[in-house]
């Protein structure tokens, strides 16, 4: 797998298998969503995470439910890795009342505060700042909770990146800034859009530690995130982690995926599929048995199929509730109204 195999800590078997489970759960869910999109079950945009699963999986493996994750327009994988049930994610994209945002959000607005999924955003940038604020809460409240934000290479050229990282650094906030550098913002190459082709070498400009990691190597991500989470919980401040990875499907489902990258490039990255690499690695090093993995594969398959059925059979939101939840004061009252409606 990656050439840093030697300096990989040894994990217990459960952990190895849980990582495999999470990787697969994201992949199969995304494949289901792609199918659902093609079938017209998804009404708005749908940005899949296929090819990047190792990042969310390797980072979230270190998080507790009371830690906070903030994400992007490409957020299904982060939500699943943080523990949002697949059925709630799929139901949300189906626009149903049983979705994690009760059908208000769709693909780009996944909220599940109960499990620490604090939201994805259709706007690039803001969640970098919100994670900084969660870090502020956690440190003001004297807890050891941590906040994590996942963002793309496209967000790096945005002022939110600059201001958020500086604020977290000067106040030593418990935040992980995880950049998923998949080399493109839609079709605009990061190498064109930024004067510096790397992100993980920018720590010195801000005064925080930063690293560049192979984002298709779940164990490399796991190791880097583990150290960053340790620092954050210990009150040692934020870390910037760049994960070099690749999106193997179109920017969003149904979108033309040509003219900006070569087939060779796509194939080369597919050959480094994070799940295939990891599966092979586990077998090669006898860290898990073929049956273990087949069992997981069957479980995940079942979970995702049931989730899709659940979504399919879920009710639509009641149009009479369209203006609920705007103001906190009115929320309960709005519910009333709805019942009487």
Partner 1 sequence: MREITFMEATREALDSAMAKDPSIFVVGEGIGARGGNFTTTLGLYEKYGPERLRDTPISERGFVGMCTGAAMTGTRPIVDFMFLDFILDAMGELINQVSKIQYMSSGRLKMPLLLRGCIGIGGAAATHHSGNYYPIFAHIPGFRVVLPTNAYDAKGLFATALQSDDPVLFLEHKNLIFNKGPVPDEEYTIPFGKARITREGDAATVVALSSMVDKTLAACDKLAKEGISIEVIDPRTIAPLDIDTILASVHKTGRLLIVDETFAPCGVGAEISAQVTAQGFDDLDAPIMRLNGLHTPTPYSPPLEAAIVPNKESIEQAIRDLLAE
Residues 200-229 that bind its own copies (CB under 8 A): 201-202, 204-208
If contact means CB under 5 to 8 A according to the sort of partner, which of Mg ion, its own copies, partner 1, none does residue 123 touch? Answer: partner 1
The stretch near its own copies (CB under 8 A) out of 175-183, 190-198, 268-276, 297-305 is: 190-198
Residue 231 touches its own copies, criterion: CB under 8 A = no
Nearer to partner 1, 161 or 278 (CB): 161
Nearer to its own copies, 137 or 157 (CB): 157
Binding mask 147-186 for Mg ion (x = CB under 5 A): -----xx----------------------------x--x-
If contact means CB under 5 to 8 A according to the sort of partner, which of ligand TPP, Mg ion, its own copies, none does residue 178 touch? Answer: none
Residue 329 touches partner 1, criterion: CB under 8 A = yes
If contact means CB under 5 to 8 A according to the sort of partner, which of ligand TPP, its own copies, partner 1, none does residue 174 touch? Answer: none
Which helix H or strand E contains 203, and what residues bound it? helix 203-206
The stretch near partner 1 (CB under 8 A) out of 237-245, 266-274, 290-298, 316-324 is: 316-324
Q: What is the distance, to the nearest Å, from the Cα of residue 55 to the centroid of all Cα atoms in its chain?
A: 7
Q: What is the distance, to the nearest Å, from the Cα of residue 257 to the centroid of all Cα atoms in its chain?
A: 22
What distance in Å separates the CA atoms of residue 112 and residue 133, rounded to the nearest whole number?
A: 17
DSSP, res 212: E
Classified as helix, coil or strand, 123 is coil
Nearer to ligand TPP, 56 or 223 (CB): 56
Q: Count Cβ atoms below 10 Å from residue 141 Cβ, excluding itself.
A: 8
Residue 206 touches partner 1, criterion: CB under 8 A = no
Nearer to ligand TPP, 112 or 252 (CB): 252
In sequence order, the β-bridge partners of residue 240 are: 177, 210
The token duo for 304 is 């995702």
If contact means CB under 5 to 8 A according to the sort of partner, which of its own copies, Mg ion, partner 1, none does residue 202 touch? Answer: its own copies
The token duo for 292 is 């273990």
Q: Count Cβ atoms below 10 Å from residue 123 Cβ, excluding itself.
A: 12
Residues 6+ apart with CB under 8 A from 146: 63, 67, 68, 135, 138, 174, 175, 176, 229, 232, 233
Classified as helix, coil or strand, 151 is strand
Nearer to partner 1, 70 or 281 (CB): 70
Nearer to its own copies, 206 or 281 (CB): 206
The token duo for 80 is 């699943």
- Tell me whether residue 314 is exposed, middle or buried, using C-beta atoms within 10 angstroms of its C-beta: 0 to 12, 13 to 18, 19 or more: buried
Query: Could you say which of 95, 203, 209, 238 contacts partner 1 (CB under 8 A)?
Result: 95
Nearer to partner 1, 55 or 147 (CB): 147
């Amino acid at each position: 797998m990656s050439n840093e195999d030697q300096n990989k800590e040894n994990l217990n078997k459960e952990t190895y298998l849980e990582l495999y489970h999470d990787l697969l759960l994201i992949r199969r869910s995304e494949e289901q969503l792609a199918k659902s999109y093609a079938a017209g079950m998804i009404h708005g945009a749908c940005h899949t995470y296929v090819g990047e699963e190792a990042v969310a999986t390797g980072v979230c493996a270190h998080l507790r439910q009371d830690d906070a994750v903030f994400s992007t327009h490409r957020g299904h994988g982060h939500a699943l890795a943080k523990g949002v049930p697949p059925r709630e994610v799929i139901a949300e994209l189906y626009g149903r009342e049983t979705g994690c945002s009760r059908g208000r959000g769709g693909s780009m607005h996944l909220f599940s505060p109960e499990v620490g999924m604090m939201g994805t955003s259709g706007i690039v940038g803001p969640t970098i700042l919100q994670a900084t604020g969660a870090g502020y809460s956690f440190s003001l409240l004297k807890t050891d909770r941590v906040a994590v934000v996942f963002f793309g290479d496209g967000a790096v050229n945005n002022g939110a990146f600059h201001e958020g990282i500086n604020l977290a650094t000067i106040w030593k906030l418990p935040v992980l800034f995880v950049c998923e550098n998949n080399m493109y913002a839609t079709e605009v190459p990061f190498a064109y859009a930024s004067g510096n082709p790397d992100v993980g070498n920018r720590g010195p400009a801000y005064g925080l530690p930063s690293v560049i990691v192979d984002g298709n190597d779940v164990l490399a991500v796991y190791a880097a995130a583990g150290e960053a989470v340790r620092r954050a919980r210990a009150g040692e401040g934020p870390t910037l982690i760049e994960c070099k990875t690749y999106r193997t499907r179109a920017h969003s489902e149904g979108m033309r995926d040509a003219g900006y990258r070569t087939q060779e490039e796509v194939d080369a990255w597919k050959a480094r599929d994070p799940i295939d690499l990891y599966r092979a690695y586990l077998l090669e090093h006898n860290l898990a048995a073929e049956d273990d993995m087949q069992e997981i594969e069957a479980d995940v398959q079942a979970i995702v199929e049931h989730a899709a059925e659940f979504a399919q059979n879920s009710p639509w939101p009641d149009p009479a509730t369209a203006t609920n939840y705007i103001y906190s004061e009115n929320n309960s009252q709005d519910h009333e109204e709805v019942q009487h409606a």
